[in-house]
């Protein structure tokens, strides 16, 4: 894990910067059914926010709404302080989709998949030196550099997942959005990925991620937003303090809230 990208990230100063994500009163429907029913979600610059909740509670839909993949029927969304309709700087975002939706069976090499993470940063055409360094660095970070020439079809599920994480890292994003990034990844590699994510966070990256189990990522989480039936049920800090600013649905006292334990919310 030695290669470094040649370009610095050119981040703006993050003190006092508008939040990476500001979703307010978001409503959305899928298949004619309301799926998000007034979700408020803020990810401050440099913050790591976990979305938790039972199957079908709206976690993936929330992050897909943040990415513009699910249109809002109500409420507002701002990314880095820019109303969504005017937001164009997609290179500031990296996205790791839910594994089942990402396994499309496309014939591509590991290098090609990870290089796709550079698309928002460059014109079409051959990879430049910076792109190649970023691809190599991202693969180093997930421990997959040795498989760079392999077809992704030849990877196991967990290895494929690590390549998808590398694709998001290759974008050198200021906001990483990940849908169950550790699904199918073995414990040893979960620890390694948690370490990678910790370095991203230390470098100032904001992170929004869907998790079923906090696992080795637990120490990184600043706030956990628990969804239920398309609404925020509660918001918890690691020390179980509530963030009322982000919890418009009536938070219970912290001592009454059940402790967030691995696997208990699903
Ligand atoms: N394409 C779709 N058409 C219709 N309904 C959908 C569609 N996608 C999701 N839904 C519904 O929206 C609701 C929220 O789904 P979502 O995928 O956001 O849940 P989730 O919290 O991410 O669940 P999981 O933990 O199972 O990934 C569910 O009831 C689901 O059935």
pLDDT tens per residue, range 100-151? 544 556 678 999 999 988 887 766 667 788 889 999 999 999 999 999 999 9
Nearest-CA residue for atom 7 of ligand 1: 30
Q: Does any domain span residue 2?
A: no
Q: What interhelical angle do 157-170 and 129-141 show, nearest 10?
A: 140
Sheet-wide strand order for 82-83: 33-43, 21-30, 74-79, 82-83
**In a domain? residue 3:** no
CA 53–ligand 1 middle distance (angstroms): 12
Query: Within a domain: residue 15?
Result: no
169 within domain boundaries: yes
Q: How far is the CA of 26 from the centre of ligand 1 (A)?
A: 15
The rounded Å distance from CA 182 to ligand 1 centre is 19
Give tens-digit pLDDT for 194-249: 988 999 899 999 999 999 888 889 889 999 999 999 999 999 876 653 333 344 33
Q: Which H helix or E strand runs over 131?
A: helix 129-141
- Looking at the 3D structure of the chain, how many domains does it have? 1
Ligand 1 site, CB within 6 A: 30-31, 35, 53, 55-61
- Which ligand 1 atom is at minimum distance from the Cα of 180? 27
Residue nearest to atom 24 of ligand 1 (CA): 55
Between the alpha carbon of residue 86 and those of residues 2, 77, 90, 173, 209, the distances in Å are: 38, 11, 11, 19, 24
Q: Report the separation in Å between the CA atom of 61 and the middle of ligand 1, taken as the mean of its atom positions.
A: 6
- Residue 93 within a domain: yes
Residue 11 pLDDT > 60, yes or no? no
**CATH number for 248:** 3.40.50.300
Q: Let me know if residue 111 belongs to a domain.
A: yes
Position in ligand 1 atom list of the atom nearest CA 32: 4
- Mean pLDDT is lowest, of 29-43, 64-78, 179-193, 218-232, for 179-193
Distance between CA atoms of residues 233 and 129, nearest Å: 47
Residue 89 is part of which domain span?
A: 21-256
**Pairing of β 33-43 and β 21-30:** antiparallel
The residue whose C-alpha atom lies closest to atom 26 belonging to ligand 1 is 55
What is the percent of the chain where pLDDT is above 90?
53
DSSP letter for each residue of 3-58:
---SS---PPP-TTPPPSEEEEEEEEEETTEEEEEEEEEEE-TT-EEEEEESTTSS
134 token code pair: 């970023």
Cα 110 vs. chain centroid, distance in angstroms? 20
Q: Which pLDDT value is given to residue 265?
A: 38
184 domain residue, yes or no:
yes
* Domain contains 12: no
From residue 222, alpha-carbon distances to 77, 92, 182, 207 in Å are: 21, 21, 18, 10
Cα(3)–Cα(114) distance, integer angstroms: 15
User: 55: CA distance to ligand 1 center in Å?
Assistant: 8
Query: Phi and psi at residue 160, in whole multiples of 5°?
Result: -60, -40
Distance 217 CA to ligand 1 centre (A): 24
Ligand 1: residue whose CA is nearest its atom 2: 30
Q: What pLDDT, on a 0 to 100 scale, did the predictor assign at position 25?
A: 97
Q: Whose CA is nearest to atom 5 of ligand 1?
A: 30
Residue 19 Cα, ligand 1 centroid: separation in angstroms? Answer: 26
Mean pLDDT over all residues of the chain? 82
Q: Where are the beta strands (DSSP E) in the chain?
A: 21-30, 33-43, 48-53, 74-79, 82-83, 93-96, 175-179, 206-210, 223-228, 231-236
From CA 149, how far away is CA 245, in angstroms rounded? Answer: 48
**Which of the listed residues 32, 61, 62, 67 should we mutate to test ligand 1's pocket, taking the one with most ligand atoms within 8 A of CB?**
61
Ligand 1 pocket test, pick from 32, 56, 70 with the greatest ligand atom count within 8 Å of Cβ, gives 56
Contact 100, 180 (CB under 8 A): no
Best CA proximity match to 93, nearest among 73, 120, 69? 120
Distance 223 CA to ligand 1 centre (A): 22
- Global pTM reads 0.82
Half-sphere exposure of 150 (CA within 13 A, CB side): 13
R_g over Cα of the chain: 18
């Amino acid at each position: 894990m030695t290669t470094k990208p040649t370009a610095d990230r050119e981040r703006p100063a993050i003190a006092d910067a508008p939040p990476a994500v500001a979703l307010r009163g978001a409503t959305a429907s899928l298949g004619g059914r309301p799926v998000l029913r007034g979700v408020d979600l803020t990810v401050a610059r440099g913050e790591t926010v976990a979305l938790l909740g039972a199957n079908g509670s709206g976690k993936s839909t929330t992050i897909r709404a943040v990415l513009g993949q699910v249109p809002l029927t109500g409420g507002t969304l701002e990314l880095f302080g820019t109303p969504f309709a005017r937001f164009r700087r997609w290179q500031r975002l990296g996205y790791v989709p839910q594994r089942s939706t990402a396994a499309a069976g496309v014939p591509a090499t590991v290098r090609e998949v990870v290089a796709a993470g550079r698309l928002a940063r460059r014109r079409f055409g051959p990879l430049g030196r910076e792109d190649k360094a970023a691809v190599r660095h991202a693969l180093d970070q997930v421990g997959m550099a040795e498989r760079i020439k392999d077809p992704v079809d030849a990877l196991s599920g967990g290895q494929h997942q690590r390549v998808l994480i590398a694709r998001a890292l290759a974008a050198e994003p200021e906001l990483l959005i990940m849908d169950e990034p550790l699904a199918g990844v073995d414990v040893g590699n979960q620890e390694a990925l948690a370490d990678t994510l910790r370095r991203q966070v230390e470098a100032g990256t904001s992170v929004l991620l869907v998790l079923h189990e906090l696992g080795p990522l637990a120490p990184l989480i600043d706030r956990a937003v628990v969804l239920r039936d398309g609404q925020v049920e509660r918001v918890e800090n690691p020390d179980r303090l509530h963030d009322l600013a982000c919890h418009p649905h009536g938070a219970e006292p912290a001592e009454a809230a059940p402790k967030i334990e691995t696997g208990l919310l699903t």
